[in-house]
Chains A and B, each alone.
Chain A
Amino acid sequence: MKTIGADIVLQVLEEEGVEAIFGYPGANTLPLNDRLADSPIRHYLMRHEQAAAHAADGYARVTGKTGVCLATSGPGATNLVTGIATAYMDSTPLVAITAQVNSELWGRDAFQETDIIGITMPITKHSFMVRDPEQIASSLRSAFRLARSGRPGPVLLDIPRDILGTPDSGNERSIPENTPLPYENGEALVRIAEALNRSERPIILIGGGIKLGDACDLATAFVKKTGIPFVSTMMGIGSIISGNGYDLGFIGTHGNQLANSMIHQSDFILALGSRFTERSTSVIAKFAPLASVAQIDIDPTSIGKNIKVDFQWIGDIKDALVALSELVPPRDRSQWETRINEERALSAAKEGDDGCGEAGLLIRKIQAALPRDAIVIPDVGLNQIWTVRSWQCRSPRSLITTGGMGTMGFSLPAAIGVKIGAPEREVVTVSGDGGFLMNIQELATISSYCLPLKIVVLNNGHLGMIRQMQDLFFEARFTNCALGDTVDLVAVARGFGIPAERIPVHGNPDAAIARMKEAKGPYLVEAVIDQDTYVYPIIPPGKSNVEMISGK
């Protein structure tokens, strides 16, 4: 067999350490699908391209490597869009390869032609077409470098079918490189440390950048050494093992009261890898009014984007943490600690079970039944808030969620990538009935590869979070949020070849959990939950972080 463009693609993927890709074929990807048969790289056939992108995303989030997905031109490529945007918003390194129509047809509205580069420009770090077989290798290598460098994110490479199929000339050509990122000097870190050392009520804000920068251990050590309490954004949850005395919970609209209240009272925020979205800050003008802010981030555009910062440092979070732990000695801040402990007691009395009721109890029981390093992947909606509040993060990368986009339907396909990336760990998804139905076709992928995933659907017959908002903010006029109970999810799961059972959430779930735990392959538990079970406290739209409400 002659070496063709597709072989070069596979060679570079191997060179980049790629072991698995997630895709869906079409006429224009066929040269690649053909050669994949002889490659050590495993191609997972998903049942929808959106799922392929989410699976690659999940794979990347759990392994720390770059995820790869493959789709054909036209509808295949456009189906990737939601998955790519999700990766973009959560800064997951991802390389999306799309096959394009033959070069000579390009620009003629040929069958299955789409300007996927134009479509994905705003949701990728970069997107480009390979116009010449001699550029395949260098383009793909730059795609990987770009996806990983600085603030990670998705890169899309569009390759016309003829270029995938052309014999390789062996004349590789390189394409220009982007300039390296600016790094700021240590002076700025010294100033940050001085301000932090002077502060009376400091707080560390943990963002998603800690996981992306592979700095969980360093951050944990920093917190331990300095004794400074921390709060997380939703993307930051699980960076530092939760449940120790420094952990105040997570901030924002659906966050913990303690976390929101303490960041409001703090006089200094050390933000590590967070872009301060309004989901975390609520009304920016009212956010942490007493605090000076030091922001550390690898992405210059994230600094000061949403809130005004007093100190900044651009660069690798690991370098920052190493330097800062030299510069920040532990210090007595007993007044601050006392105040935190008082508030903790207060909010514990108020929130009780973390505001998650029976759903939270079920999630805690599931976690208790699984090994310590089990991974949970919530979907989006009430189920996500219940899960992130109830799951105790006991090991790195043990909670994987879409914080930036909040994409319903993420959890099931993402779990496929997670399981393939971490086959030795137990993986459980928790979704609502709405989100579950959005990518339900992936049950077929799960059963055909016999992936031992634990699937939990919290079925309230409604788009629960929408229902809660209508209840609170739209005079309980429930429009367009009822999904009904006409679908027998257990029968559907069995139809896909997955054993399943239904339980009431307020019953005793222990036996069902035990059966799910013992299952060798995938297993689905549908927990029927009352439609009026909501999540509290919550920050109403337009309110500040300390104006959480705990009921109607």
Chain B
Amino acid sequence: MAVQEHIISLLVNNQPGVLSRIAGVFSSKGYNIRSLCVAETTNPDVSRITLTSRADRDFTDKIKKQLDRLVDIVSVTDLTDIPSVKRELMIIGLRIKEENRREILRAIDLFGCKIVAMDEDYLILEVTANTDKTAAILKFFEPFGVEEMNRTGAIAVFRQPSGR
């Protein structure tokens, strides 16, 4: 079965230990987590976890069932085929050389990135996009001299408010 990126969205009780239980399900099945974002929802008793990993469908189904068993999990949804808006935030520290300045500024404009700090030869960029696009942007800037990079991994909301 084809291995692909899966985005799993979980609603969980906002309790100590919940995250390590979820991580435990993945590690005990030998399954790697690529990114993981957690924050409270509008209801402070409930947190949303968005988790991405590469696996085949079969494996993801099994993991979903395992997660469903955990007491503190409210819901588990595999977003891979569900219409949703997915975004991740990336911050890039970029070295600028005089001869590249114009090209870099043009690209920033084109990609719709934001400059959050800047001095003579250093630039900090903020990028918000879906994971494919952040990856493409990073790839573009790398030859110019990316000194630092950090990103959040995907978060997502459903297109239909009722969808879970």
Instruction: List residues of A whose CB falls within 8 A of some B CB.
Output: 117-118, 121-122, 125-126, 128, 146, 176, 178, 300-301, 304-305
B69 within 8 A of A: yes
Contact residues in B for A121 (Cβ distance below 8 Å): 17, 20-21, 24
Residue contacts A-B, CB under 8 angstroms, 18 given = A117-B17, A121-B17, A121-B20, A121-B21, A121-B24, A122-B24, A125-B69, A125-B71, A128-B17, A128-B71, A146-B71, A176-B13, A300-B65, A300-B68, A301-B65, A301-B66, A301-B69, A304-B62
Please state if A301 and B62 are interface contacts (CB–CB under 8 Å).
Answer: yes
Number of chain B residues close to chain A: CB under 8 A: 13
CB distance from A124 to the nearest CB of B (A): 10
A400 to B70, CA, bound (A): 29
Please state if A126 and B71 are interface contacts (CB–CB under 8 Å).
Answer: yes
Interface residues of B in 1-53 (CB under 8 A from A): 13, 17, 20-21, 24, 28
Contact residues in B for A122 (Cβ distance below 8 Å): 24, 28
Contact residues in A for B21 (Cβ distance below 8 Å): 121
Chain B residue with the shortest CB-CB distance to A155: B71
A300 to B67, CA, bound (A): 11
A300 to B70, CA, bound (A): 13
Contact residues in A for B28 (Cβ distance below 8 Å): 122
A464 to B70, CA, bound (A): 40
A302 to B13, CA, bound (A): 25
A128 to B18, CA, bound (A): 10
Please state if B17 and A118 are interface contacts (CB–CB under 8 Å).
Answer: yes
Contact residues in B for A178 (Cβ distance below 8 Å): 71
Additional A-B contact list (4), CB under 8 Å, known A176-B13, A301-B66: A125-B69, A126-B70, A178-B71, A300-B69
Chain A residue with the shortest CB-CB distance to B28: A122
Interface residues of B in 76-111 (CB under 8 A from A): none
A118 to B21, CA, bound (A): 9
A178 to B71, CA, bound (A): 5
Chain B residue with the shortest CB-CB distance to A176: B13
CB distance from B13 to the nearest CB of A (A): 6
A125 to B21, CA, bound (A): 11
A304 to B63, CA, bound (A): 12
A146 to B71, CA, bound (A): 9
Contact residues in B for A305 (Cβ distance below 8 Å): 62
